[in-house]
Structure 1
Amino acid sequence: MITFDQVTVVHDGAKVPALPMVDAHLPEGELCLLIGPSGAGKSTLLGTVSGLVPHFTGGTLHGRVTVAGRDTRTHKPRELADVVGTVGQDPLAHFVTDTVEDELAYGMESLGLPPGTMRRRVEETLDLLGLNELRDRPITSLSGGQQQRVAIGSVLTPHPKVLVLDEPTSALDPPAAEEVLAVLQRLVHDLGTTVLMAEHRLERVVQYADQVLLLAPEEELSNVPPSSPSPPSPRGTARLGEPAALLAVSPVRPPVVELGELAGWDPLPLSVRDARRRAGPLRERLAPRLSPAANPGTGAATTAASPRSAAAFRFRAGSAATGPQPATQGARPLAEVSRLTLVRSRVTALHNVSLSLGAGETLALMGRNGAGKSTLLNTLAGMYKPTSGEVTVGGRTPHRTRPAELLRHVGLVPQEPRDLLYADTVAHECRAADADAEAEPGTCRALVSRLLPGISDTTHPRDLSEGQRLALALSIILTARPPLLLLDEPTRGLDYAAKDRLVTLLRELAARGHAIVLATHDVELVAELAHRVVVLAQGEPVADGPTDEVVTSSPAYAPQVSKILAPQPWLTVSQVREAL
């Protein structure tokens, strides 16, 4: 269905290709997962399938891409629209109408389908993606995850033969992501749709993949087994093969694969179910580490059966996986929210929210899309005036504080990092950030180099991947070293290595007394980093407590290691590695 014949792309003025040479064939009716480090060229390769590369992006396409027999060099995107449906990383850039129902119908109108067919397919898609209650809503009023589902639905209604998806679950909460993936499975299995999907959150999707197409540096792939279905091209670093075989050598791997390698399982498991079937001996090896231990907070004995046993283990082992405990508990809070209610456009976005955040504490906000997580961050940053209740940051009321003064106390990295980027080069962005923060020259650039190794000063921010832009925006905010740091989906678009670098940096900031609030659907990040979790539902807190208690109490928010090794309280591969 999709054939890459010695394909690579070189942008105008670039000295190196934007992606390695790809030589592979994807058959009809399979789900192929495209993986690789941030900036490896995944989005560029997806663009070659839809014709966006090079017809709209510029540059030179070497080799040939054919989709359902059509050469994308000679067929522009509009001539491929009936066979290829594409959803990019930014759903807002995808929309052309104002309401959900109109957006679902637009693609079919462009293809001239009969009104009866259009109506039936719109209703089917609304049900498939759980969008029926949103059908009349303005798209701009939806949360980021809701917009993502609408974007996916809009390309499903024309029934294309090929779906090209760039991180389709990155903005979705775990239950919503499972719904979308279930829909994709039905399309593949029942309708024979070919799906090519790039996704960094491999723990969500790898068990559904028929094949994996891996883009990575050559030195990372020296151990690819010779039995891989598609032998490596001597000039390229793209590999196509069975998921388990390629993930064994991939530089990006989900926790279930990391745990399988640590335990010596062969073949490596790809799903929690497969791993649990083999986990009995591993649990036996880990059991001695779960003997009674003193709880550092009370001095009381804690056993493995206690709900606080994970906290007790972290104290005993000193695990780097969970980071330092809050350094200044009992001191004056850096931020306080008291009985906060916020009504926007007649919708109660937050209701009766109260929380206190101390120096050195990392708090994770979780919950369904539209639960109010981003709204709470924006309120802490002074963007919204509370309808009732009080919000203070550093002893100041955010919405009444001048932005220039507030920036010295709180920094917000939004879901869309481009909102913070306006210069034409990375170097210009960094110099401006140093000047705005009155920081030593080179401070921002040092942070960028740490989070984004190898990024050139002359690179334009628009040429960075979504994850790279996020890391640049984070570096700009961190340059001012605000005592309170607010991060909205901070790992969207980041591979596992980049996430590890981010976690290390945030731990260091917490150890120095910075308070951090994360609004995220990334349960693995929460397990690694957060001291405390607050779960919001319809704008109201429904759970608030230590990370190990909250995330293990709900299957939707439990990390993979917790699911595999339950009832033992391990949350991360790092914990297990240290114990062994």
Structure 2
Amino acid sequence: MIEMEIREPLLEVRNLSLSYEEQSIINNISFSINKGEKLLLLGPSGSGKSSLALCLNGLIPNSIEGDRTGSIKYAGKEIQSYKPGQLSSRIGVVFQDPDSQFCMLTVEDEIAFGLENIKLPKEEMIRKIEWSLSLVGLEKYRQAHISTLSGGMKQKLALACVMAMEPELMILDEPTALLDPVATKDFAETIDRLQREMNFSLIVIEHKLDYWVPFIDRTLVFTQSGQLMYDGSLKKGLVHHFDNMKDLGIYLPKVTGFGQQVKENFYPLTMDELMEELNEINLSPPIQTMNVFSSTPLIQMKHVSFSRGEKQILKNIHLSIKKGEWTAIVGPNGAGKSTLTLMLAGLLKEQQGEIFYGNKLFKDLDEKVRLDSIGYVFQNPEHQFIADTVFDEVAFGPRMKKIEDIDSKVANILSDFRLLRLKDHNPFILSQGQKRRLSVATMLVDEREFLILDEPTFGQDEKATNEMMKMIQSRVNFGMTALMVTHDMEIVAEFAHQVIVLVEGEVVFQGTPYELFIENSEIVEKANLENPLLYSIWNTYGIRGEPIAASVIKS
């Protein structure tokens, strides 16, 4: 008789529950992961995925308060039995908010910090720093101050810090949320290659699935109440739980959603699977539809430039945004997108050139008029919180303006953003996705004329994203002007009236989504963008010379 080897799991979770301030977050979940195994964690925003990551590396309850019950074993030992710091070199976590894990001033020192803690020799440390920076494309920023990096570049740095430690288990909590499409693809492929070479275990918490699906072994699906609904392959999960997953608002691969539109019970996971089926289907092309706007520009920038120290961020910017128009600003990480929006909000002053708001120079605008007219949603929502409760955070602006029926208006918008049950909670204890929804709600409640949103869908599940975009769209339909920075080209194609593409601080394109994705493929490539799915499919059919029919995408 041949004895079979029984492998002990690298990580084993049994009957784990977690609550904060009497609010249940995780409910009696059990699962395990073996050495070299790759897990994908799916669930709606606020379902406890990020809290689970904090439990797995011991930060809850050792450093972050929380009532935790159940068992978590790593390499056969309860995680409580490890000394402080022991797990950090074995379990690496990249959090949603990269700023929350930095403690040094420069890029090089931040990576070195962890390596010094494990007493790595200097020569080996230098090699690890160079190697990890090369993985994420930050070699040129080794001496840079972290405060000067864009949000996407900070996220890359957080990834580099974890990779330098070469952990046995890597947990990635929305690691590509602030990365441009090409960087997202490159990073997922890099993780796949490194995982095969180094055989570390991997847990990925992600909303953007498409680049992770090809090499993930198992998928765990969480419900809104923090229960484990499914544990198995993604394909089987879709076959048996597709409707439940859609109802929960979970993002699914773009090709899967498209496949369901063209054929019943068809659940493709890759473009190749989808295209095989589409060979027998008459596909319609995207058609440009014209929207009528006011001819009056609300915002104009003329010859605008901006520098930090010796580095020029924006170069001779010319652009125009009309009243009632929804504009998307897109481009690679570090292109100057957030800097541009901060200038349009009056939070940074132009160093050269002129900015007009209506028929007035921005610098001549009355401060009260500017604050009442322009709303700004920061990339990091915590940068704008000032109240002790969710309700008071949303009510702050209307109270300052002495708007009537404040309580009713605040309650309605909290309900729209699925935050009403959290109205008495402190904003800082919300999940990242809930914080983002709160930050948008504070700017929509008092009906500003011009709303600027920097990565508004960061940390959101599909349901929350769609609800948020439709609320903004309804305001635009009634005359509000909207400007958003985003890396999500599907949102750009569906909602934006015009697109501004920024590359290395320069505007290289301003036009409709149709013009960008159909007529300017070289700019799409130059700006590290990717075509929305329907445009990608259509371009493929166009290359094949297939027949064309008619379907509408707004542009």
Structure 1 length as normaliser, TM-score? 0.85
CA contact (8 A) 1:328 1:513 kept: no
Letter in 2 for 1:527: A
Shift of 1:557: 2.5
- In structure 2, what is the Cα distance between the partners aligned to 1:485 and 1:568? 38
- In structure 2, what is the Cα distance between the partners aligned to 1:511 and 1:568? 34
Shift of 1:431: 2.6
CA contact (8 A) 2:208 2:253 kept: yes
Q: Secondary structure at the match of 1:334?
A: strand
Identity of aligned residues (%): 30
- In structure 2, what is the Cα distance between the partners aligned to 1:455 and 1:548? 41
Partner of 2:355 in structure 1? Answer: 391
Partner of 2:537 in structure 1? Answer: 564
CA contact (8 A) 1:64 1:73 kept: no
Letter in 2 for 1:562: Y
CA contact (8 A) 1:490 1:520 kept: yes
Residues 464-495 of structure 1 deviation map (CA, whole Å, 9 limit, x = unaligned): 11111111111111123121111000000111
CA contact (8 A) 1:333 1:356 kept: yes
Partner of 1:259 in structure 2? Answer: 258
Partner of 2:293 in structure 1? Answer: 328
Residues 508-549 of structure 1 deviation map (CA, whole Å, 9 limit, x = unaligned): 111111111111111121122111111111110112211122
CA contact (8 A) 1:46 1:164 kept: yes
Q: CA, structure 1 residues 51+576, in 2 after alignment: closer, same or farther (shift >3 Å)?
A: farther
Partner of 1:243 in structure 2? Answer: 234
Q: Secondary structure at the match of 1:187?
A: helix
Please give the residue correspondences for 1:339-350 in structure 2 after superposition, counting only pairs within 5 Å.
Answer: 339-350=303-314
Residues 16-47 of structure 1 deviation map (CA, whole Å, 9 limit, x = unaligned): x2023221112221221111111011111111
Are 1:160 and 2:172 an aligned pair? no
Runs (5+) with no aligned partner, structure 2: 1-9, 543-549
How many residues align? The count is 521
Shift of 1:398: 3.1
Partner of 2:368 in structure 1? Answer: 404
- In structure 2, what is the Cα distance between the partners aligned to 1:433 and 1:417? 16
Q: Secondary structure at the match of 2:176?
A: coil
Question: In structure 2, which of residues 378, 387, 390 is the aligned counterpart of residue 426 of structure 1?
Answer: 390
Shift of 1:350: 0.9
Q: Secondary structure at the match of 1:521?
A: coil
Q: Secondary structure at the match of 1:360?
A: coil
Shift of 1:310: 1.8
Shift of 1:402: 4.3
Letter in 2 for 1:3: E
Please give the residue correspondences for 1:173-322 in structure 2 after superposition, counting only pairs within 5 Å.
Answer: 173-217=180-224, 236-248=227-239, 249=242, 250-251=245-246, 252=250, 253-264=252-263, 268-282=267-281, 284=282, 286-287=283-284, 310-311=287-288, 314=289
- In structure 2, what is the Cα distance between the partners aligned to 1:115 and 1:259? 52
Question: In structure 2, which of residues 53, 60, 67 is the aligned counterpart of residue 53 of structure 1?
Answer: 60
Shift of 1:183: 1.9
Shift of 1:273: 3.1
Q: CA, structure 1 residues 10+566, in 2 after alignment: closer, same or farther (shift >3 Å)?
A: same
Q: CA, structure 1 residues 160+399, in 2 after alignment: closer, same or farther (shift >3 Å)?
A: farther
CA contact (8 A) 1:256 1:271 kept: yes
Please give the residue correspondences for 1:32-43 in structure 2 after superposition, counting only pairs within 5 Å.
Answer: 32-43=39-50
Question: In structure 2, which of residues 319, 322, 326 is the aligned counterpart of residue 355 of structure 1?
Answer: 319
Q: CA, structure 1 residues 153+139, in 2 after alignment: closer, same or farther (shift >3 Å)?
A: same
- In structure 2, what is the Cα distance between the partners aligned to 1:217 and 1:93? 25
Shift of 1:388: 1.7
Letter in 2 for 1:541: V
Letter in 2 for 1:539: G
- In structure 2, what is the Cα distance between the partners aligned to 1:350 and 1:213? 43
Are 1:364 and 2:341 an aligned pair? no
Partner of 1:525 in structure 2? Answer: 491
- In structure 2, what is the Cα distance between the partners aligned to 1:404 and 1:86? 43
CA contact (8 A) 1:95 1:103 kept: yes
Please give the residue correspondences for 1:415-564 in structure 2 after superposition, counting only pairs within 5 Å.
Answer: 415-440=379-404, 441-442=406-407, 443-452=409-418, 454-552=420-518, 553=521, 554=524, 556-564=529-537
Letter in 1 for 2:28: M
Q: CA, structure 1 residues 236+536, in 2 after alignment: closer, same or farther (shift >3 Å)?
A: closer
- In structure 1, what is the Cα distance between the partners aligned to 2:99 and 2:299? 32
Partner of 1:374 in structure 2? Answer: 338
CA contact (8 A) 1:437 1:479 kept: no
CA contact (8 A) 1:363 1:534 kept: yes
CA contact (8 A) 1:329 1:359 kept: yes
Q: CA, structure 1 residues 46+502, in 2 after alignment: closer, same or farther (shift >3 Å)?
A: same
Q: Secondary structure at the match of 1:20?
A: strand
Letter in 1 for 2:259: G
- In structure 1, what is the Cα distance between the partners aligned to 2:301 and 2:147? 27
- In structure 2, what is the Cα distance between the partners aligned to 1:258 and 1:507? 22
Are 1:101 and 2:108 an aligned pair? yes
- In structure 1, what is the Cα distance between the partners aligned to 2:191 and 2:553? 38
Shift of 1:110: 0.2
Partner of 2:5 in structure 1? Answer: none
- In structure 2, what is the Cα distance between the partners aligned to 1:340 and 1:513? 27
Partner of 2:14 in structure 1? Answer: 5
- In structure 2, what is the Cα distance between the partners aligned to 1:117 and 1:11? 41
CA contact (8 A) 1:217 1:237 kept: no
RMSD value, Cα:
2.3
- In structure 2, what is the Cα distance between the partners aligned to 1:485 and 1:273? 39
CA contact (8 A) 2:411 2:420 kept: no
Letter in 2 for 1:240: D
Shift of 1:426: 1.0
- In structure 2, what is the Cα distance between the partners aligned to 1:52 and 1:565? 47
When structure 1 is superposed on structure 2, of 122-131 and 489-498 the one drifting more is: 122-131
Runs (5+) with no aligned partner, structure 1: 219-234, 291-308, 316-324, 570-574
Are 1:127 and 2:129 an aligned pair? no
- In structure 2, what is the Cα distance between the partners aligned to 1:166 and 1:382? 33
Structure 2 length as normaliser, TM-score? 0.89
Please give the residue correspondences for 1:65-84 in structure 2 after superposition, counting only pairs within 5 Å.
Answer: 65-75=72-82, 78-84=85-91
Q: Secondary structure at the match of 1:486?
A: strand
CA contact (8 A) 1:415 1:490 kept: yes
- In structure 2, what is the Cα distance between the partners aligned to 1:393 and 1:75? 58
CA contact (8 A) 1:364 1:534 kept: yes
When structure 1 is superposed on structure 2, of 178-187 and 363-372 the one drifting more is: 178-187
Shift of 1:200: 1.6
- In structure 2, what is the Cα distance between the partners aligned to 1:334 and 1:277? 47
Q: CA, structure 1 residues 97+563, in 2 after alignment: closer, same or farther (shift >3 Å)?
A: same
Q: CA, structure 1 residues 170+118, in 2 after alignment: closer, same or farther (shift >3 Å)?
A: same
When structure 1 is superposed on structure 2, of 445-454 and 86-95 the one drifting more is: 445-454
Residues 139-161 of structure 1 deviation map (CA, whole Å, 9 limit, x = unaligned): 11111111111111101111110
Shift of 1:98: 1.4
- In structure 1, what is the Cα distance between the partners aligned to 2:531 and 2:76? 44
